Structure 1
Amino acid sequence: MSDSAVQQEPAPGSGKAEPTTSALEAPAKRSGSIAARLFWLSATWLVLALVATGFLLTDLYSRALDSSLSQTLDFHVETLTGQLLETGNPLDEAVVLADPRFERPRSGWYWAIRGNDGRLFNFSTSMVGIDLPVMMGPVDSAGRRTAIVDDAFGTRIRVVERTVTIGPDLTYRIVVSGNLSEILNLVENFRGQAFIVLGAVGVMLAVMSAIVARFAMRPVDRLSRAIERVREGESTAVTGTYPREIAPLAEEVNELLRSNTQIIERARNQVGNLAHGLKTPIAVLRNEARNSKGALANVVQAETEKMSTMVSTYLERARLAARTSVVGKKADATMIMLRLTRVMRKIHPDVTIAFQRPDASLPWFRGDEADLEEMAGNLLDNACKWSKGQVGVRLSAERSDTGTMLLIRIDDNGPGLTEEDAQKVLRRGVRLDEKTPGTGLGLDIVKELVDVYGGSLALKRSALGGLLVELRLPTARLGGLSRPAAA
């Protein structure tokens, strides 16, 4: 089924020539989005800061209300003290507080005037059914005693007591209390409202943080798209203006591209020099061996033939590797296959080639146009040679977890291959058929190019009865180019 494939042999002392993978070729691992990291970091900090702010505001509000209550109670104590000193009699009707809260039972606002012995002389209307505790212990710098207790109805109250002496023998204790539970309820309500407001502020700040993170990452996205355009063949260098934090990265990428081009050019020159340097001595040895007779001449001639074959093979490999290593090439597989089918119809007029043209969404081949022509041309030519008059060509995109591949299917109604033969012809250095004439290096070159591009080649049984060849190659984007409407 092939034309003249070149015999390939492994390098001396290496057994089978197996492809090796350098540690530098290991794919980079993705560890998440920078924008997402910035968002979650800022969001976490916002949550902690807003929660702390909520508790701080609640504590400040609680302190302010408690201080206000204490000042109110001190005012009422001073009022009763002034009235008592003015009248001299705790039972006088003038000794009273006008605040209506002291008239409402179970309000938590109470006042009373006791004697030093604990006898109750006067009290507020709200104090019916309860008794304020007798304060014990030392007085503070203002001459008062304070305490927080629960009344008979379970209301938390703050109590302030002050001792007043009238004359040498009359000592009274003035006790005033305020409802502390009201303050605690106000603080709880304030805390709930504060956290609702701070939560709303946090949501707005989180949205703003996400917008800022996305805006800050735009230059990185632009750089990524610029590098992708280079890889897809739309540009030869990374272009654009970037912030000073990532501008050196763009410059290094461009420098790497320039260095890669220089290395490839030097490799091509060295390959050419090596070809000229080796072929001439080998040709001289081969000619001398032909003109001589004897066992030694036969051995020299046989070995120089092998050396010539190996040199040609590995030089061709180097040439292909250098040609396909250039970043930024792509080709329209549809147009190439249309061109090849037209050519093959002229070369093989007795063969009917059915080409199912794909739609415009088919991705392009990421590589050199000449390489795709060489691969697909060899496979299509082989199919035409071995078919019984019918060949089919189909193009499609094959999507998987590893990405999208360009799938070229070429099948015929020829004799085909057994599974064992199909596996055998895909090994390196195996000749398929030396009797059938052909052009180029045949299937071996196809396999070399497929390996260089990281694609795959599979031989299967065709629905037409012959051989089905499946060629998978890397893809590039269309890049906004249009195709002709007809073949």
Structure 2
Amino acid sequence: MNVPGAPPAPSVHWSRSLRVRLLAVTLAGVAVAMVLAGLVLSGLFREHVQQQFQAALQLQLDQITARLEFDAQGQPVIAAEALSDPRWLKPYSGLYWQVDAMAPDGRERAGVLRSRSLWDTSLALQVDALADGAVHVHEMPGPQGAPLLVLERTVRAEGVHAPRWRLMVAADLQVTQAATARFTGVLALSLAVLLVLLAAAAWAQVAVGLKPLQALQRAVQDVQEARASQLQGSLPAEVQPLVDDFNAVLRRHGEVVERARTQAGNLAHALKTPLTVLDNAASVQPPTDEQELAALVREQVVVARRHIDWHLARSRVAASAHLPGQRTALQPVVEGLVRVMNKVHADRALDITVAPPPVPLFFAGEAQDLQEMLGNLLDNACKWARSAVRLQAQLLPAGSETAQPQLVVAVEDDGPGIDAAQRAQALERGVRLDETVPGTGLGLAIVQDLAALYGGRLDLEPAGLGGLRATLTLPAANAH
């Protein structure tokens, strides 16, 4: 499916196709399995036929041995009519027997007795070191070049010095070879048909298995063409986690866009008031006292700059919050802020004390954001304190309420404090509870907003020193 007006999708090389890869791997595995199965089954069948053929030939050798007799001169005699198989009498029937004389010096006299089926030929089997009664198996060419399976054994007439005789029984192997060839051909054809069926099944499996990806592609196109805000549709359990993660990214993107729009609107609204004041002051004819106008301009510029700094800080935190690997040591930031506050409020001789934590503490965020939050809290405490400001920090381990450790920093002063009814109002942007104290009314609001972006919070409560206690809770980072 192509988007109207969009350029055609680029062709995908076959090596990058998931369908081709799955089919290629499946077909290669099935083909190898079919070949191995064919070789094993053909070998087993050949071995089975060979064993059956040899067992039948062993019975024939036992029959020949049982019918072997010796005359008065010690010569072997086998009555042809005593043998039950008519193939012994048919020339070149494929079933043969033969008796050879074994001389003491190792030489032999072949074909002393032989079956009529051998006609005018004899079996020329090499001399073999054979114990009495033992059976050896050989393959050799026989009459008319036919391959034969030969079983041989030696026997001895009664008496210690009686001569030894070798009995041989041979059968044509062409019958077994033809049976094996027929079985191998049928087996190969069957395995080929099976391979085709398995290939069709693999293609159907891949087509059915990858079909949900087409639904996923359509869902992505719906999002791209603004027909849906998130991926929708019934997808397999293996794909659903990917869809959930992608939808989470879309939600996060939507939140960032909405937050950017809200911050732009808030910034425009916040700058509108000081710009209006400056415009009205500049429009007065004749101009008022120059010192009064200069003070007004400076005041409004400070307000405008404070608003800009606030929104820039929110934008920076919104972009960097929850990024992995961020860690800021608490102690260096606090020590630097205390030095600044001692210089800024040197004329008031405030006693700013910091209770050292038992272990080093770390904030899971950027140092600039931690300085912004703690700086506002310390500055606010110093403005309202009569003589003392105290800061202490602790680490709350992860538990049932929080999934990760929490860094808790408390800043309190001995000032007049804030009534319970006014604490929520003090956290609103631009609200100043006492106009006699310099400020813009943004300090606590900035701290609350920045903490919320990190998943933390700011709580106001009465302090043990008698003034206000501001407790800042932020995500903590591991010390290692």
Task: Give the alignment's TM-score, normalised by structure 1.
Answer: 0.48
Larger relative contact order (Cα-Cα within 8 Å, sequence gap ≥ 6) = 1
TM-score with structure 2 setting the length = 0.49
Structure ID, larger Rg? 2
